[in-house]
Structure 1
């Protein structure tokens, strides 16, 4: 096994994903280990780690597994290059759609966070008032 390959434990540490989650993403076809050791252990490359990081970043934004799969397909096809211009433009349009959806979801999360912070502040004030003699 060369230094360019990592076992699942190292990948889990680097991505902050559990072994179970990485295996689940493998079962659903989102990430496929690049190789297997002679003993049958999953072996991953830097590209596999990058792919898992994309998935990890999409998860808190509420993207579904199908949406993750679609985005990864779009980026894989764009990265392969040598596409007819019409197909390239269509893929870029889909990529723009994902970027817009991500921006909307980030804005929604910011709104939720502001509400949560306001609620926590209200509770702090309530505690101060209730604790005052």
Structure 2
């Protein structure tokens, strides 16, 4: 490698995504390899790894591929700067804020779910401890 590019295996290891999942996200248009090697292998940059990390973080929160695509589009357009007018920029920022609110709502739901799961596990532990034979 040239130091700037990584093959898909290294990207998979760094993002904790399978090769199949990375290829699926590529087919869905969420990430596009930055280059190809002479042998046709996909080559990725740090920016591609960062993009896949965002996708990986969105997935367990229940975001759809379309929502991921929409958020990434908004972020890409904000990062590009360029000829973005203030109204367009404000609209893009509001889209990102909406995803932030949605992510926070899902995190709150997951915290409740985790607390209930932990309570259930404690209940089972208590039940097992009461049923254990006394030490000899």
TM-score (norm 2): 0.95
Which residue of structure 2 aligns with residue 112 of structure 1?
113
Q: State the 4+ residue runs in structure 1 displaced beyond 3 angstroms.
A: none
Q: 1-side partners of 2:61 and 2:133: how far apart?
A: 41
Question: 1:82-121, aligned counterparts within 5 Å?
Answer: 82=82, 83-121=84-122
Q: Distance in 1 between matches of 2:62 and 2:39?
A: 36
Matched residue count: 133
User: Quick one: distance in 2 between partners of 1:50 and 1:12?
Assistant: 12
Aligned to 1:29: 29
The RMSD of aligned alpha carbons is 0.8
Q: Deviations over 1:12-60 (max 9, x none)?
A: 0110111011011001110000000010000001110000000011011
**Residues 36-75 of structure 1: matches in 2 within 5 Å?**
36-75=36-75
Quote how far apart the aligned CAs of 1:132 are.
Answer: 3.8
In the alignment, what sits opposite 1:80?
Answer: 80
SS at match of 2:40: coil
Deviations 1:48-77 (A, max 9, x none): 000000001101111111110000000000
Give ranges in structure 1 of 5+ residues lacking alignment. Answer: none
What is the SS of the residue equivalent to 2:43?
Answer: strand
